[in-house]
Amino acid sequence: MKATLRYLAGLAGPSGFGSNSTAEQVTEDCCSLLPSNLTALITGATSGIGAETARVLAKRGVRVVIGARDLRKAKEVREKIQKESPHAEVILLEIDLSSFASVQRFCSEFLALELPLNILINNAGMYSQNLEFSEEKIEMTFATNYLGHFLLTKMLLEKIIDTAKKTGIQGRIINVSSVIHSWVKRSCFSFNDMLCGKNYNGTRAYAQSKLATILHVKEVARQLKERNANVTINAVHPGIVKTGIIRAHKGLITDSLFFIASKLLKSISQVCKYFSAHLVRTQNQFHMS
């Protein structure tokens, strides 16, 4: 109960930050201590949480690679970032996480750049009220939110491990999850029902994709520990914020609930502090090693 009250009040914890702190505040004191040549790869950084995370990391001197399905929107994000931070290095690469071929092409293009990879933020996600399929005939939400990031992480994992080994800077993999994963019960984790238009439930499909993401994080964490790799992976529930995915739940009931809860919702800048905190820990770990 105390923790909930502290969260609602925005009171600072042991770290000196609270739920009302922003990404800029969390990273403000670390920018002069950051190692040079850090590279962060962020999927879905054309709006919302991803775009704000890219902006703050670029402002702190991190090279940012944006993986985006819509390069036009990605260019707009880059222009805004470079207008605020003229020396920011922002690289755009096209990726459709629902397509295995696109993910493989993206990874080949990124690896060809021969850049280090210190931070991977698997942020992109989608929600659909209607049953859709990817080009591989997989339910679209599961393909985009889970399988695409699964393949991306698998193909770039050795690069992250190698970068950490060469630089001594602990690598970070962050998967954006959701507390909605807890809505999936053992009896409800069913792929067959998702493939039937009559039984399709967009919220359940989204919840299942996020549960799969968390299970993936647990398994990769086990493998990294077994290999004694200097890389960590975490699943992060950013809190409730009205991003593009939430806006997809349009309707009288949803809009009414968000109006009532508006005082409890966090801004995108406040939500992004969770990802920025990993950057702070990276630079602290570097200077302590």
Q: Is residue 286 part of a domain?
A: no
The total number of structural domains in the chain stands at 1
Return all residues near 69 (Cβ < 8 A) that are at least 6 apart: 46, 94, 95, 96, 97, 124
200 given a catalytic annotation: yes
How far, in Å, CA of 196 to CA of 7, rounded?
Answer: 41
pLDDT > 90? residue 69: yes
Q: Is residue 229 part of a domain?
A: yes
Q: Is residue 31 part of a domain?
A: yes
Q: Is residue 181 part of a domain?
A: yes
* High-pLDDT (> 70) share of the chain, %: 64
Return all residues near 84 (Cβ < 8 A) that are at least 6 apart: 55, 59
Average pLDDT over residues 36-50: 92
Q: What is the pLDDT of residues 224-264, one digit of tens each?
A: 999 999 999 999 867 555 545 444 555 554 555 445 444 44
Residue 249 lies in domain:
20-280
Q: Is residue 65 part of a domain?
A: yes
Length of the chain: 289
Global pTM value: 0.79
How far, in Å, CA of 42 to CA of 78, rounded?
Answer: 13
Q: What CATH number is attached to the domain comprising 49?
A: 3.40.50.720
Query: Of all helices (H) and strands (E), which one includes residue 43?
Result: strand 39-43
Q: Is residue 215 part of a domain?
A: yes
How far, in Å, CA of 262 to CA of 266, rounded?
Answer: 8
Q: Is residue 289 part of a domain?
A: no
Q: Is residue 127 part of a domain?
A: yes
Active-site residue among 127, 146, 200, 274? 200
